[in-house]
Structure 1
Amino acid sequence: MNEINVSAVPLTKLVPSAINVRTTGRDKGIDGLAASIASRGLLQNLVVRETEEGKYEVVAGGRRLAALKQLCKAKKLPKSYMVPVQIVGEDAALEASLAENVMREQMHPADQFAAFAGLIAQGHSIEDVAARFGVTPGVVTRRMKLASLSPVIIEAFRADKLTLEQVMGFTVTDNHAEQEQVFADISEWHYPAERSRIVQLLTHEKMKTTDHRFRFVGEDAYIAAGGAITRDLFDERDTGYAEDSALVLRLATERLTAMIPEVLAQGWKWIEADPALTYDTMRTFTRIHPRHVELNNDDAARLSALAEEYDRLAEDGDTPDDETSERLDAIDAEMESLRDKERAFDPAEMALAGGWLALHNDGSVKLELGYVRPEDRPALDALRRPINTDGQNENGDDDAEPVTPAPTGPKVPEALLAELHAARTIALRLELVKRPDIALRVLAHSLAVREMSHGTPVLTVHPSTTYIPENQRVGCPDETPLNDQRSRWNMRLGGDAARMWDAIMALSNEDVLDLIAVLSASLVDATYSKGQNGSAAKPGIYAEKLAATLDLDMRQHWTPTAATYFGRVSKDAITEAVTEAASEAEAAKLAGLKKGVMAEEAALIAADTTWLPAPLRTNRG
C-alpha cells in the first residue's frame, strides 16, 4: 500500500495536474464551490503529489483549487493561506484521482431539498442560504417548494418511481391530498406521465395564462378585477395559471359584448359574445354561406393572368430577389382585391341570421357568421323556396359541398401550401386519436356523407390512408405515437379477418372507442391539392371543422423556421408575418437585410410567439 502523508501547503505552491482524470465539466460550479468554502471552509483535503521544482500538483480536487484561487484573487483569502492536502506518491497519484471522481456517490436531489429546508428551519434566510452555496435565491426558493411536497411524492422520488422532471410538476399545488391522488392515478398508466400532463391534472380548476381567452383579457385586467395567478417556477417560459377561470370568461365576454353593435350594423339579425364557443354550440344552427358572384369578363381574365404569373414567379425553384418579391406582393394584393368581389352574403338572408364574436387560438377576435336559429329556419326556407337558384333546391338546402374559404394572408407557393397542409393533416391525426368520442362522430359523419350525400368527408372511408409524400413532410410532426398504437392493436387483434371479428366482438365499449379513434385518425385527409381555376380541391370545410372541434394548436406540432416557411416566401411576406407575430417595430428592424438573413431572424422572432401562417390557423375567420 502506498503511503499517504497528510499535511498543509501554501496556496501559492499548488498547481493543476495533467493527470487529473476529470477533464469534462471541471470548470462548472466554481462560483458555488467558492461561496461554500468562504462560508464553511475547505471540508475535504486536496490530493497532491510533490514535484522536483518544489510545487504540488493537485491530482484530485482541481475544482476546489480553482475555487480557492478565485477567493484569493477576490482578496477573501490571503496568498499565504495554508491548504490541507494529502500527499501521495507517483504510483498512487492516478489511482487517487480516479477513485475520487468515479467512486464518489452524488447526493440525491431529495437530500438537497431537505438540507435547504433544514437550514431555513434553523433561522437562515433564503438569501443567506443562496450566498452560502453560491446559487441564486430563486434556486433556493424552488428547492424549498420541492421540499414542501407530500412525503409520498418525495419517497417515490427517492425510490426512482418518479423523475425530478415529474416531481417538479407536482409543485403547482400545495394540496398534498391532490398530489397523492394524481400520483396514484399516473402510477396505473402504462407509460411515464410527462410533467406537463401532471401539471394539467393538478390545475383542472385553473386556466393557463397562455390560454387564448386569458391572453385576450390580459393579466392587468384580470388582476385588477381581483383575480390571482399561480406560477410554475420550473417552467422556463414562466407559465402561470389563473386561479379563477370563471372570472377570465366573464371579463372576456364583457369585452366582446362591447363590440356587438359594430357587427350588427352590417345587417345581421343577432350577434352574441362567446369566448368559449365550441362546435357543439354551432352545430344545431343552419348555416348560410356567402354566395359566389361572377366577375365580369375583364376581371376574370385579369385574375387568371395574375394567378399564372404568380405561380411562374414563385415556383422557379430559387429564392426570389427583392424585385421579384415586390412583384409577388403586388400580384397578391391585386388578386385578393378581385377575389373579394366574388363572395358576398345575401342581405335578405343576413336579416335572418347572425353569429358569434369569439376568439382565435392566438387570442385575437374571431367572427363566426352566417348561422340561423331554429326558429328562423322556416322564414329562411320560405325566402329560398321560390328562388331555386345558385345551387339551392326546393327545400332551401345546398346541393354542393361548401368550399373552404381562401386563406387570408400573403400568397405562398403551391409546393409550400401542400407542405403546410400535410403538417396539418398529421397534426389532426395525432389529436383525433386522443379523442375517441370525436373520432366516432367524425367516422359516422364520413360514412353518412358517402352513403347519403355527394360531398367530400374529412376521412377517406374506402378505407385507405392518404399517403403523404416525403417531399411534403418538411417540418411535419412525428407520426410515431400513432404508428405505435396501430402496431399495438394489430398484435392484439390477431391479424386475420376471422380472428379479428371475434376479438373486436369481445372488446369493451371503451376499447372499441379507442380502436375506432386509432383507425379513424389514420384516415384523416386534410392535404392540399390544386383544383380547377386555382381553387383548392382539398381539404374542404370539414377539415376546418375537425380542427375547430379538436381545438387544434399547430404550434404544438409545427414550428415556423427558415426551412419550413420564411425562406420560402417573399420578403414582404416575411415582414407581414413578423408584424403579426411581434410588431411593426420588430419588422422594421429586418428591412434591408438579405433574404437568407432576414428569414433566419424572422424565425427567431416567431419562435417566442404563437404565430402561424394562415393555412395552419384553427378557426380562422
Structure 2
Amino acid sequence: MSDIDTKAPAKPKSTAKKSPAKAVSAKTAAAKFVEAALDKAERKNLMLKEITFTDQNARITPRTQEEIEEMAISIEAAGLLQNLVVHRMADGRYGAAAGETRRLGMDLLMVQGRSAAGVPVTPEFIVPVLVVDEQDAYAISVAENVRRTNLQPADQLENIRLLAKKGTPPEQIGAILGFSTLHVKKCLKLTTVAPALLDLLKTNQINFDQLAALGATDDHQRQLQAWEKSSYYAHLRKPKALREAVLNDEVSAADSHIVEFVGLEAYQAAGGETREDLFAESVILTNPLMLETLAMAKLQVAADEVAKNEGWAWAVGRSREVRSYNGDEKTFEILFVQAKLSDELQTEMDQLLTEQELLDDMFDTAGLDADEEWEHAPRVEQIEARINEINDAAEINKWSPEVRATAGVVAYLKDGQIQIQRGLMKVEDIKQQEKANREEIKKNTPPSEKGLSQVLVASLSAERTLAVSAALAQNTNVAIALHTFTLANRIFHNGYNYVLHTSVDSQHSACLSQSAEADSENGIANQKLNEMHESWLSRFPQDWSDDFTWLLEWPQADVLALLTYCISHAVDGKEAHMRDNRIASRLERIEQALNFQIGEWWKPTCDNYFSRIGKDQIVDALNSAGESGKAKDAEGMKRKEAAEFAAAVLSETGWLPSCMAPQPQAESENRADATASATNANDTDADDSAAA
C-alpha cells in the first residue's frame, strides 16, 4: 500500500426528509402519565407537620445541602409554586411521593424562622397537596422525576427494579418512563450485577456503558476481577475491553472481527451455540474453540492458495501476525528483504505520487464544490489502485525462488480481513540446515592429534558464553559496570580493543545455534535464562513495545534488574580459535568479577566434548584426572566406546578440560595486561600512521 492515504471525494447524496419519530421521548411519555394519574387525585390542604418522608419517593440519590438551600431560597421568595403529591400513611400522616425536596426546603425555612412569600413558615404552615393511592404513588414519583430531570443512572435502575418488584410488567414500566421495553429489560438485567459495582454507579465511579459491558456475564467474581484489573490502564476501562475481559471464554458477535470473518451462520451450521446479549442487541458465542477452528481452517485455505500460486515451501493459517517476540521467535524466523522497483516502475511510481499530491493540494486549496470534486474522483481512484498494484507486486516479487523454496507464508486476521505475511523460516528447518552444515564442516575438519577442532572450540565458547550470561543476569553491579565500560570505550576510545564489550544485539540465539550439537538448549544456563525471560515478559504491559514510558512507573530497582538481564544477553565470548589454550579467554575478567565457576554450569559429557575429540585425547583426559587404570582400559576401545566410557567415569569427579578450567588470577591478569599492551601499541601505530 502507498504511504499516502488518498480517498476519492464522495459525491453528495440527496437526503430525504425524515418522517416524525414514532417513539415518544421519555419526558413526554412521563408527562402524559403524570397528568393522567393526577387528574384523579384529591386536592387538599395539609399542615407542614402532617407531611413526612416516604419510601415511595423514587429518588435514591441523597439531596445535597446545596439543593435544599436553593429550594428554600426559591420558596422564600415566591412561595410554593406547585402542589406536593402525597399518599396517606398508616400513622395518619402523609408521605411526599413527589416534592420531597420542596418539603425539605420548607422544613429548613421553619427551623431557621424564615418566611415563604411573606408568610412565616411554622409547623402549621398550609401546604397544598394532591393525594393519590399508595399503590400509584411510586410510579407517579418515578414519572415525575423523569419529567422534571433525567434520573441518575443508579436511581433509574433502582426505580425500574422496584416497579418490577411491585408486579409492573416491562411494557408498562417503559410506558411510564418513556423507555423502550428492551431498555427496561436491559436495566432489569443490570440490577443483578455485583452489588459493589452498583454502589460505584451511585457515586459516579462507573458509568452505565461500563456496567452494561460487565453485565455480559452473570459471574459476579469475574465482573469484579475485570473491573479491578482495568484500574491499572485507562484503555482497559473502555466498554469493549471490559466486555472482552468478562467474556474470556465466550465471544460477543457485536464487536468481533473473527465472528465477522467466519460468519455467524457458518458457526451455527457447524453446531456452535449462542446466547442472547441484551446489551449489544446481539448474541454471544459460547464455543470460542469451534469459532477459532473455523477461522483457522479458512485462513489455512487462503495461505495454501498463496503458497501454491507464488511457489512457497509451506503455508500456515493463524490468528495473528508472526512477531519476533512473545514466543514466536521459538517457532519462526522473519526474513527481511528490501523491495526494489525497476527503473521503469520507479519512474511510474514517482509520476503517480506527484499527480496524487497535486490533486490533494487542489482539493485542499482550490475550494472545489462537490460536483467538481466528483469529476476528479475516478482519476484519484485510478492512481491509488495503481500505486497499490505496484507495491503489492513488489512485495511479492522481492522474494527469490531460492528463498521461496525453503521459506513460507502465513495468513492471519487483522480487523476482520485476511493479511499475508511472506518470508518466514521455521526455526526447526534452520536447525536442521545448520546441523547439516556442521556435519559437513566436521567431516572436512578432523581433530588434530593434541588440539581441538574449530567446530568444538566454537561450541565450547558458546556454551561458556551462555553460562557467563546466566551468572551475569543475577549481578546488577557487574552488568552495569560492564555495559558502562562498553559505552565509555565507544565514546572516549579510538581504535580497536580486544577487551570484552557488550554487543548491541542479543547473543543468546547465536550461542544456542553454535552449540546445538552439545544440546545446550537443555543445559542449566539456558534453562535459567529462559526462566528469567518468561518471568520478565509476564510483567510487561500488553503494548510494551510501542513506548518506553511504562518503565517510568516501575521501581528503579526493577528497571535496573531488567537492564541487568538484557545486558547479560549482550555478552559475546564466541570464537573459533583458542588463545593460549583457553576457551573464550575474553570472558576471564568478567568471570573474576562474578567469582564465576564454570563447573557450576557445565561439565564435559559424551555429546558436548568426548565424542568430539580424538581417542588419544580421551586417554589423556583420563590420565590427567588420575584415572590411569581407566585410561589403559580406554586404549583398547574404539573411539565412540571410549568417549562414552570416559564420560561415565568422569561425570561426578568435577574434572574439566584444561581449556575450560578456571585459571589462577595472576596468570589471567598477566595475559589480560599483555592483550591490553598489544591493543594500545596497535592504537599508537595507527595514530602515528595517520599523523604521517
Shorter-chain TM range is: 0.3 to 0.5
Greater gyration radius: 2
If each structure's helix is expressed as a fraction of its own residues, which one has the higher value?
2
